Amino acid sequence: MKTFNVPVAYRSPLITAIKQKRKQEDKMKKNLSPTLLDFGPLQLYLARHFGFCYGVENAIEIAFRTVDENPGKRIFLLSEMIHNPFVNEDLKARGVEFMMDTYGKQLIPFKSLGADDIVIIPAFGTTLAIEKSLRERGIQIEKYNTTCPFVEKVWNRSNQIAAKGYSIIVHGKPSHEETRATFSHSAAEAPTVVVNDMKETIELGKYITGEKPAEDFYTEFRGRFSEEFNVTKDLQRIGVVNQTTMLASDTQAIADYLKQVIATYYDLNDKTISARFADTRDTLCYATTDNQGAVSGMLEQNADLAIVIGGRNSSNTSHLVELCEEVLPTWFIRSEADLFTAETILHFDWRRKTESVHHNYLPAKYPVRILITSGASCPDAMVEAVIKKLHSFFPDARNYDEVIDEWSK
Ligand code: SF4
C-alpha cells in the first residue's frame, strides 16, 4: 500500500517498528493476536491493527502539503478533516480555517470565498450541493480533494445498484459528514433512505410489508429520505450500503433483516431474491474491518481493562469502544492527558456524549494486563504517549527503553 508523508510528530518509532515487524511476519493479516509489551507488573497488549488508515494519511499529506505550497493564500477546510482534535488543532495553528462544524453548521459563509481561496474537502467527502456552491465561487475542488477512495467506492457501489433500479438504504449515522455525503451522492441516482440502527430498520421493514401506514413514513424518517421518495413504490427493490466505519456485524444484521423481510413478503428464495434485494456485501473499508477484527483478536486475552484512544466524535473509535465494552471495563480517552494519575482517568461515554472522572481504574494486582487500541484518525505518537504514561505509573516496571529495544532490533 502507498506510504504517505505525514508530519513526523504523528509517528512513533516504537509503533512503526512493531507494525512493520508484525506485517513482515504476517503479510496476509491472518494473525489477529495482539502484540505484548511486557513491562513486568504492567503488561500491555497492542491490537494487531490500529491507528491511521489510508484515507487519513492521504488527507493529512494533502492538507499539510497544501499549507506548505501556498504561503499567503487563504486556506479553508470544509469541516474537520478527520475526527481527531489534535490534528485539526495543528492545522488551525498553521492558519487553516474551518468553514463548517462537524454537524454541518456553517461557521464561515460560502459567499465570503473568492476564486483565489483554497478549500480542502475532508476525507469523508461532501455533498453535491456543497460541491456546487464551491464551484460557483470559482473554487477548484478537485485539486484539494482528500475524499477517501474507500468512501468513493461506496458511492460507486450505490451508483451501480441504482443503475439497476434498486433504491438505496444507507446504514449510517444521519448527522455524520460521511453519511450526509453518501446520502447526497446516492440520492442523485436513486431513491435513498438512511437508517441509523436495527431498531429503525425494523420500523422501515414495516413499511415494506404495509404493516405501517405509508403516510407515517414521512414523519418517522423525516430528513432521512430523498426528495420525492415514494414509500409505497421505492421500497420494493432495495440494496444496503453503509458508512464505512459502522460496526460490521450491525450492517450485516441490518442487510440480513431487510433481505428476510423482502424474501418473506414477496415469497422469494435464495435464487430469486436478487430480483428485489441487491447483493452489496458490506461496504465497510479495509481499515474498519482490520481494526474491528484486531479488537476481537485482542479480546481473547484475559485482560483486566481496555483503553481506546481517539477523537470523541470519531465513529470508528466509538465502535472499537463498543466491542471492548461487551467484554471488559473499557476507557475511552483522547490522549495521555486523560490519564490524570494512576488512580484517576477522564473517560468519555460515547453513548451519552458525556465525560466523567473515574477512580481506581487500574486494579491492585500483579501483573495488570491492559488492552490498547486506537481509532483510524489517532496518531501513533499519541498511542506511544499513553504507553509511556501508563509505564510511569508502575515504578517497579522493567526499564522502558529495554522493552522498546526488543522491538526495535
Ligand atoms: S476509515 Fe476507511 S473510509 Fe474512512 S478515511 Fe479511513 S480508509 Fe477511508
pLDDT on residue 149: 94
The rounded Å distance from CA 124 to ligand 1 centre is 8
The rounded Å distance from CA 178 to ligand 1 centre is 10
Q: Which residues line ligand 1 at a C-beta cut-off of 6 Å? A: 53-56, 123, 148, 150-151, 244-245, 285, 287-288, 316, 376
Residues 352-376 pLDDT 10s:
999 999 999 999 999 999 999 999 9
149-275: same fold as 8-53+286-408? yes
Q: Which residues of 366-375 are buried (b: 16+ CB within 10 A; e: fewer)?
A: eebbbbbbbb
pLDDT on residue 272: 97
For domain 8-53+286-408, the question of CATH label 3.40.1010.20 is answered with yes
pLDDT on residue 321: 98
pLDDT on residue 346: 98
The rounded Å distance from CA 150 to ligand 1 centre is 6
pLDDT on residue 181: 97
The rounded Å distance from CA 394 to ligand 1 centre is 36
Residues 307-317 pLDDT 10s:
999 999 999 99
pLDDT on residue 103: 84
CATH number of 149-275: 3.40.1010.20
Contact between residue 328 and residue 303 where contact means Cβ atoms under 8 Å apart: yes
Which residues does the chain have with pLDDT short of 50?
none
Contact between residue 48 and residue 372 where contact means Cβ atoms under 8 Å apart: no
| 245, 247, 315, 320, best to mutate for ligand 1 pocket (most atoms within 8 Å of CB) | 245
pLDDT on residue 340: 98
pTM of the model: 0.92
pLDDT on residue 282: 66
| 83, 288, 315, best to mutate for ligand 1 pocket (most atoms within 8 Å of CB) | 288
What are residue 87's DSSP bridge partners?
none
pLDDT on residue 409: 67
Which cell numbers hold the place of 60?
493529512
Cβ-in-10-Å burial (0-12, 13-18, 19+) of 165 comes to exposed
Residues 6+ apart with CB under 8 A from 93: none
All structural domains of the chain with their residue ranges: 8-53+286-408, 54-136, 149-275
Catalytic positions are 178
Q: Please state which of the four CATH numbers 3.40.50.11270, 1.10.3720.10, 3.30.70.940, 3.40.50.11710 is assigned to the domain occupying 54-136.
A: 3.40.50.11270
